[in-house]
Each structure stands twice: as C-alpha cells, then as structure tokens.
Amino acid sequence: GKVYSKTISGLGKVDDVVKYEGSGTQADPYKIASFANLKYMSQNSSDWSKYFVQTADIRMNGKTWTPIGPNYTNPFKGTYDGQGYKISGNMVMSGTYDNGGIFGYLYAGTIKNVHFDGTIDCSGITTATTTNIGAVVGTITANSTVEYCSNSADIALSSTNNNARYVGGVIGGTASGIRKVKIIACVNTGNITNVISGRYWFEMGGIIGSYGVYAYNDENSLFIGCVNTGNISGAGKIGG
C-alpha cells in the first residue's frame, strides 16, 4: 500500500526537516515549533552555541534520533528553553554516539524547562560506543546548567546494552574532572532498570546516573531541589 506522511499544523510532515524562524540571539532566539524544526537543529551544528525556545508540544517520529551535540568534540554550547512544552513520542537511541538523549553532550550551555513525556527505546545500543544515557541530556560538563527539566519515560536496558555505564532519568552523567555544574529543580518519574549482571561500574539514578566527585566537592556547583519518584533497580551502583 501507499505510505503517507501526516502534515501537522502547516509545519511540515513528520519526516520533514524544516528550518526554524528567528536569528539565534537572546532577544530573537530560534523558535522550535515542530519535530521538523528539532530535527533541523540536530543536523546544524553551527547553531549549537546560540539561543533556542520551544513554542509548542513536539512529538518524535519513532525513528533513530541523532542527539543534539552528540559528543565532546561537537557539544551543544547554547541555551535551549523548552518553556514548559512537552516532547513526546518514541525516542530511539542510536548506538553510534557517545551519549544518548535529546541532547548528547552539554558544554558551557543551559537547558531549561524541557519535559520528555514519551518512550525511550535502547535496543539499538549494542555497540561499544554509547555510555551515557539520559532522557534530556547524556552528559553535562563544566559551566553548564540543567534546570526545571523532567522525564516520565521508563528506561530499560537489556543484556545487549553491555557498554552503557551511566544512566539517569534526566541526565546520564557528568564528565570527569568537571566543576561549576548546576542541576536545579529537575524531576524524574520514570522507572530505570537493567539486567546487566557483573557490571560493578554501572551507575544509575533517577535524576542523574553519575555525579562526578569534582562537581560534588566544588563550591561553585549546585545540585538542589530535584525529586525522583521512579523505581531504580538492577546491577551496579544505584541512587535515587
């Protein structure tokens, strides 16, 4: 039979890539109004140091997602304000990148008011690449802020996800040796589970999977006002 793509509110088909409006400045940020805009953002790294605002609820298309700022050599360094709108649908994690999440690697950037309310598929993470997994951000590093973000999706890892190391509901983990990290008023209600046995280094948490010792001991870092009500279970080191 024929395959159709559905057009939503005149903003393009669900599989389209559509350039966003705005100029990327603090006064006139890029406006993310559809999944087509979000997909365009994920493909244009030259914009990843600029300002973005989400202006509508967005639904992912259930295909493999390329994180915005997938690794430390090409991180997201800008500011993204979800403005309280939701991102839903099925986010299919890719095994190609170091980090899994809407955003991959956050360096000296800010992500706020982002709410993931969909499902997460980790079945594609079968390689020795992806280590940090979070619904909103895979890895947060120096001089970065994640605030007022939430996740309601369950994250379930199977025996095939054998290289995953840090998994959190909102953030996968911090990079090693970092300072000046702020995680403020984030919420996780999703359950996080794994059946990977014998992995003593595996770390999971409701808000963040691993919070580095340097960030923990740094007076300029802040971890405050966060709440987890999801069930965290499985092998390795587990926290709320």
* pLDDT tens, residue order, the chain (240 aa): 333 333 333 344 555 899 999 999 999 999 999 999 999 999 999 999 999 999 999 999 999 899 999 999 999 999 999 999 999 999 998 777 778 899 999 999 999 999 999 999 887 776 556 678 999 999 999 899 999 999 999 988 876 655 677 889 999 998 876 778 899 999 999 999 887 666 666 788 999 998 865 555 566 788 899 999 999 887 667 776
Q: Sign of the C-alpha dihedral, residues 198, 200, 202, 208?
A: positive
Residues 6 or more apart from 196 whose CB is under 8 A from it? 157, 158, 159, 161, 162, 164, 202, 234, 235, 236
